[in-house]
Amino acid sequence: MKRFPIIKRSGLWLIISAILAVAWAYLFFTNLNLSIQFTGGMELKVDAQLDESKVESDLVALLEEEGYTSPSVSVGEKDGYDNILLQIPVDNQEKVNELSTSIQQYLIESEYIEDGRGILEQAIIGASIGDYVKNSTIWALALGLLFIAIYVAFAFMGVREFISPTVLGLLTLSTLFFDIAIPAGAYGILMAINGTVQVDTVFVLAILTIMGYSINDTIIVFDRIRENMKAHSQQIATKKMTYAQLFDDSIWQTMRRTIGTSLSTLLIVICMWIFGTGIMQTFAFVIGIGLIAGTLSSIFIAVPFAYVVIKTFQKRQ
């Protein structure tokens, strides 16, 4: 593998990564479509060829007649079948039964399905359960980030004379924003294309997995930097070796391992996406994009960011 200077262009990598992270995060939030696991509602898988725009407008009118305020209805393809998503509060069991009957009656009267046939799956989640899942997800993400920062801070106590372990922890969290934003943005594009693609617990699990995998990649490089700092501390002190040289050496010494590990994992994820269906494909898609983003961030964001912080700290001294 031909070597080229990475640290020399630290500012360029950081600017590009910041622009990409913000742009892809924007794609995610502008197309954000939470599943009924978070909002509450009903999901039906139907063995029929639905007229998407007609069914959506008809069901919105039907739900408004039933007393639901601003109901959200999406119709699209999922797992090879037409899927109907209704995001409405349905905590009352009586309302649940009425809603189920009304939807089925509409599909029969519109001749999309025959009486008693055509609805393959039906899932109903109450709004209170959706709130519980939403709060649990926020706590899981927040605690995950906190524990990662604490781990990095303690793991790198040995190089505190060169850079604060707390700073390294914060740098790692900053890198994670890129690692999460890229796959989230790609998922946002899918949500824009297909209204039945939603942010659900599978997506959250994939993001948590990416966080764990990405931090492992970053720590491998940081660990080599720590070893090199200890081994060449005298050369650094006497200016015989610069931080730029040391950081570049550390990146290239771990480059094969970083890329090799990521590629082997990516091959498995690609197989999951090709041969899997449903939630497995969703999980594999998010993980695959996250693997690529995490590998790039370990090389072009985490280490250059640490270098810029060290150089800034030195100038202030």
**Rounded to whole angstroms, how far apart are CA atoms 90 and 275?**
36
Q: Where are the domains of the chain?
A: 7-35+130-316, 41-125
Confidence (pLDDT) at 269: 93
Alpha helix locations (H) across the chain? 10-30, 36-39, 52-65, 93-109, 127-155, 165-193, 201-231, 233-237, 243-275, 279-297, 303-316
CATH pick for 41-125 out of 3.30.70.3400, 3.30.70.100, 1.10.3720.10, 3.40.50.450: 3.30.70.3400
Confidence (pLDDT) at 22: 95
The residue that leads in pLDDT, 242 or 69, is 242
Burial, 246: exposed, middle or buried (Cβ in 10 Å; 0-12, 13-18, 19+)? buried
- Which pTM does this prediction carry? 0.80
Q: How many CB atoms lie within 10 A of CB 238?
A: 8
**Rounded to whole angstroms, how far apart are CA atoms 5 and 7?**
6
Provide the 3-class DSSP secondary structure of residue 100.
helix
Question: For the residues 270-296, what does the mean pLDDT come to?
Answer: 89
Q: How many CB atoms lie within 10 A of CB 157?
A: 10
Residue 159 above 60 pLDDT?
A: no
Class for the domain spanning 7-35+130-316 = mainly alpha
The tens digit of pLDDT for each residue in 289-303 reads 999 999 999 889 988
The tens digit of pLDDT for each residue in 223-248 reads 888 788 888 878 877 778 888 898 89
Q: Which amino acid is at 120?
A: L
